[in-house]
């Protein structure tokens, strides 16, 4: 069936110049997986079936209008029914639908068969970033937009990958079956990667499955496709497909980085080090709602500059960062940030702008709070 659809698509494409296809940016991409190829071929097959039906139906209609117009002396036929005509216009659409349903069903069955995977990855949507957890590999990281704010504010020219660039790419080996498990930590998101022919909702409390097997090395870009709040448009997806050799090297590097990050909590941190690191954490996780200058967007996103919480009891501040505020837009960062990152961003907020408290929350202090929970 795959080969038949592929050959049929090539035959139909013969009648339209390749340059026209290349210019059809509104058409779906052919993609880089076997599944995306067959979906594209099926899409084109059904498109041409619809075009053929339209040509025949409208051709007959316009021919009838033109050659049987009243000015030529045509008179309407008087009849009430025709069993033959009714059978014809019932049987022909039925056969067309069956012809489209058989290959479509075959593709759907294949798309939902995520068994016998080589790699399993849990994908969790957050406002407004993605978390990727490689099950069984001890690799877990967040992927966030890194497009400069100056480009977003039209203060400088936009780069080629505007709003489609992230700090941590999802790295996958080619020619391996990868199973995805989609869920969400807050609202409904949708993980959409056109080149892999995947679009799955990430729903809180539910797990949706999909899979892919990439055929070509390259970098592929997608986006969240479910309106999920203020920064929905700033939630890109970037997949980097590499050879198995390069993937193995990347896995080793990630595992080594995880060990090094775990050891960060044991080193000595000065207030300047914490503020510098905290500013980076703040820009990635907090600035979208509370603004770079801490002015916020009241009442939904209160100001942090001069905030009673930020200037108040340290443990209350820790609690809010760790657990969030139920029923509000304030997310819980206990599972998103390490003890070092939490300590750094709290220290930064208590010393940034006009909040010059001089207080230092060390990673050890933050870890002690976490251990009590």
CATH code at position 44: 1.10.287
Name the pTM for this structure: 0.78
pLDDT, position 301: 85
Structural domain including 297 reads 267-372
The answer to whether residues 67 and 130 belong to one domain is: no
The answer to whether residues 255 and 275 belong to one domain is: no
The answer to whether residues 329 and 352 belong to one domain is: yes
The answer to whether residues 150 and 215 belong to one domain is: yes
pLDDT, position 21: 45
Residue 372 and residue 362: Cα distance in Å, rounded? Answer: 16
Per-residue pLDDT tens digits for 286-308: 888 898 898 988 888 889 998 88
The answer to whether residues 131 and 232 belong to one domain is: yes
Per-residue pLDDT tens digits for 331-371: 888 888 888 889 889 999 999 998 988 888 888 888 888 88
Neighbours of 289 (CB within 10 A): 20
The answer to whether residues 233 and 366 belong to one domain is: no
The answer to whether residues 106 and 133 belong to one domain is: no
pLDDT, position 347: 92
Residue 210 and residue 35: Cα distance in Å, rounded? Answer: 12
Domain boundary among 204, 233, 263: 263
pLDDT, position 3: 56
The answer to whether residues 255 and 243 belong to one domain is: yes
Domain boundary among 263, 292, 327: 263
The answer to whether residues 174 and 272 belong to one domain is: no
The answer to whether residues 352 and 241 belong to one domain is: no
**How far are the Cα atoms of 68, 75, 145, 259, 282 from residue 293, in angstroms, in the given order?**
74, 79, 19, 34, 11
CATH code at position 225: 2.60.40.420
Ranges of the chain whose pLDDT falls below 50: 9-24
The answer to whether residues 161 and 275 belong to one domain is: no
Domain boundary among 81, 111, 141: 111
The answer to whether residues 254 and 324 belong to one domain is: no
Domains: count for the chain: 3
């Amino acid at each position: 069936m795959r080969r038949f659809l592929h050959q049929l698509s090539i035959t139909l494409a013969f009648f339209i110049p390749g340059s026209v296809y290349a210019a059809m940016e509104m058409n779906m991409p052919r993609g880089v997986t076997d599944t995306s190829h067959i979906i594209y071929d099926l899409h084109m097959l059904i498109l041409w079936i619809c075009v053929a039906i339209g040509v025949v139906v409208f051709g007959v209609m316009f021919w009838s209008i033109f050659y049987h117009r009243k000015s030529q002396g045509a008179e309407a036929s008087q009849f009430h029914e025709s069993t033959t005509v009714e059978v014809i216009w019932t049987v022909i659409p039925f056969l067309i639908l069956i012809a489209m349903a058989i290959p479509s069903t075959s593709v759907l069955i294949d798309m939902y068969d995520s068994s016998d995977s080589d790699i399993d990855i849990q994908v969790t949507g957050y406002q407004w970033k993605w978390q990727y957890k490689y099950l069984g590999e001890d690799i877990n990281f967040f992927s966030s937009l890194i497009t400069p704010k100056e480009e977003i504010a039209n203060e400088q020219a936009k780069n080629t990958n505007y709003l489609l660039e992230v700090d941590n790419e999802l790295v996958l080996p080619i020619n391996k079956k990868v199973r995805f498990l989609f869920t969400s930590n807050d609202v409904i998101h949708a993980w959409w990667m056109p080149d892999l022919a995947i679009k799955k909702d990430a729903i809180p409390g539910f797990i949706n499955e999909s899979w892919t097997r990439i055929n070509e090395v390259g970098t592929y870009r997608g986006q969240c496709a479910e309106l999920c709040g203020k920064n929905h448009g700033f939630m890109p997806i970037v997949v980097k497909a590499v050879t198995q050799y390069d993937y193995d090297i990347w896995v080793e590097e990630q595992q080594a980085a995880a060990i090094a990050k775990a050891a960060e909590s044991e080193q000595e941190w000065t207030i300047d080090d914490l503020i510098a690191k905290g500013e980076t954490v703040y820009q990635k996780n907090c600035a979208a709602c509370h603004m770079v200058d801490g002015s916020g967007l009241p009442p939904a996103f209160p100001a942090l500059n001069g905030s009673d919480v930020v200037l108040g009891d340290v443990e209350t501040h820790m609690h809010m960062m760790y657990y969030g505020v139920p029923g509000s837009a304030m997310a819980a960062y206990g599972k998103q940030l390490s003890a070092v990152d939490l300590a750094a961003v709290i220290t930064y907020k208590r010393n940034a702008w006009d909040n010059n408290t001089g207080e230092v929350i060390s990673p050890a202090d933050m870890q002690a709070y976490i251990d009590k929970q």
